[in-house]
Amino acid sequence: MLKISELAALTGLSAHTIRFYEKHGLIEASKRSDSGYRYYSDADVKRAEFVKSARNIGFSLDDIGVLLSIRLDKQSHSCQEVTDITQNKLDEVNERLSELQAMQQTLERLLESCCGGPENATHCSIIEALDGGDVTVTRRAS
């Protein structure tokens, strides 16, 4: 059984974050000492690692909550439930990717257009572009 700092070292999460995840139902200590210290079993560690993996991929804590409930009772859930969550996350990621790619293109174009030198900015083409409003249409996050 690991203490919270040991679980933290193992997972790379901070003890603060582990407690925060516990408050949100993601991680649990299957034992507490008489004095209230959390003690984590092997199964608890696996669960924490699952959370960490899912977090790395970009799943929200809410998503992870659902994934954990599926993991806990696989019989009662279908693969489709899992792929639905995954596909939704992928859609989100793709959406954000195209926003960022549009920004990237605009920024690159602006940088190419400007001398970037010590000259004063009286005729700075970046400032002018922003003034003219003729920047590529980019979408903001929804």
What whole-number distance in Å separates Cα of residue 113 and Cα of residue 106?
A: 11
Q: Interface residues with its own copies (CB under 8 A)?
A: 46, 49-50, 52-58, 67, 70-71, 74-83, 86-87, 89-90, 93-94, 96-97, 100-101, 103-104, 106-108, 110-111, 114-122, 124, 126-127, 129-131, 133, 135-138, 140
What whole-number distance in Å separates Cα of residue 39 and Cα of residue 41?
A: 7
* C-beta of 12 vs 116, nearer to DNA: 12
Nearest to 18 by CA among 35, 34, 33, 37: 37
* C-beta of 122 vs 142, nearer to its own copies: 122
Minimal distance in Å, beta carbon 65 to its own copies? 13
In the list its own copies, DNA, none, the entry touching 112 (Cβ below 5 to 8 angstroms by class) is none
Look up tokens 């009662």; give the residue: 76
Nearest to 30 by CA among 15, 19, 41, 17: 41
